[in-house]
Chains A and B, each alone.
Chain A
Amino acid sequence: MNAIQLDPQGGLDALVELLLADGFRVVGPVVTGGVIAYDDLSSGDDLPTGWAVEQAPGRWRMHETGDQTRFGYTPGAASWKQYVFPAHQEVLRIRRTDGSFAVTRPPAPERPFAFIGVRDCEVTALEVLDRVQLDPDYPDPRYAERRRDAFIVAVTCAVPSATCWCTSMDGGPVPQHGFDLLLTELNDSDGHRLLAESGTDRGAELLARLPGSLATPLDRSAAVAVGAADTDILAPKLSGKELPTLLAGTELHPHWEEVADRCLACSNCTMVCPTCFCSTFTDHPELEPDVASRTQEWASCFQLDHSNLGGRPVRASVSARYRQWLTHKLATWTEQFGTSGCVGCGRCTTWCPAGIDIVQETLALIGPAADRDNTDRDITDRDITDRASDHRDSGHRASDHRASDHRDSGGPGTA
Chain B
Amino acid sequence: MTRPTVAVWKFASCDGCQLTILDCEDELLAIAAALDFRMFLEAGPEEMLDHFDISLVEGSITTNHDAERIREVRERSGIVVTIGACATAGGIQALRNYADVEEYTRHIYARPDWIDTLATSTPIAHHIKVDHELHGCPINKEQLIATITALLAGRRTPVTSHSVCVECKQRGTPCLLVSEGTACLGPVTHAGCGALCPSINRGCFGCFGPSESANLPGLLEVLRVAGNDEHEVLASLRTFNVTKFDTGATP
Contacts and interface: CB of A to CB of B under 8 A. Distances in A.
Interface string B195-211: 00000010000000001
Contacts of A46: none
Query: Majority SS of interface residues in chain B?
Result: helix
B65 to A, nearest CB: 36
A77 B162 contact: no
Contact of A305 (B145, B160, B170, B201): B160
B179 A61 contact: yes
B215 A353 contact: no
B178 A87 contact: no
A303 B180 CA distance: 25
B79 to A, nearest CB: 16
B174 A33 contact: yes
A95 B248 CA distance: 51
B174 A353 contact: no
Contacts, number: 128
Contact of B169 (A265, A268, A318): A268
Interface residues of B, number: 44
A61 B182 CA distance: 13
Given A35-B179, A282-B158, A304-B212, A287 B34 contact: yes
B169 A87 contact: yes
A287 B31 contact: yes
Given A267-B165, A318-B215, A35 B174 contact: yes
B44 interface: no
A298 B186 CA distance: 17
A352 to B, nearest CB: 8
A289 B34 CA distance: 9
A82 B172 contact: yes
Give the interface residue-count category, chain A. 35 or more
Given A34-B180, A287-B27, A303 B166 contact: yes
A58 interface: yes
Which of B30, B169, B186 lies at the interface centre, i.e. has the most chain A CB atoms within 10 A of its CB? B169
B228 interface: no
Nearest to A62: B179
A361 interface: no
A286 interface: yes
Contacts of A300: 162, 166
B161 interface: yes
A285 B169 contact: no
Interface in B146-205: 146, 148-150, 152-153, 155, 158, 160-163, 165-166, 169-175, 177-180, 184, 186-188, 201
A214 interface: no
Contacts of A35: 174, 179
Contact of B219 (A78, A87, A264, A297): A264
A33 B170 contact: no
Interface in A292-319: 292, 297-298, 300, 302-305, 318
Interface of B: 27, 30-31, 34, 145-146, 148-150, 152-153, 155, 158, 160-163, 165-166, 169-175, 177-180, 184, 186-188, 201, 211-213, 215, 217-219, 221-222
Given A264-B222, A353-B187, 8 more contacts: A37-B172, A262-B221, A263-B215, A271-B165, A271-B170, A292-B153, A353-B165, A353-B219
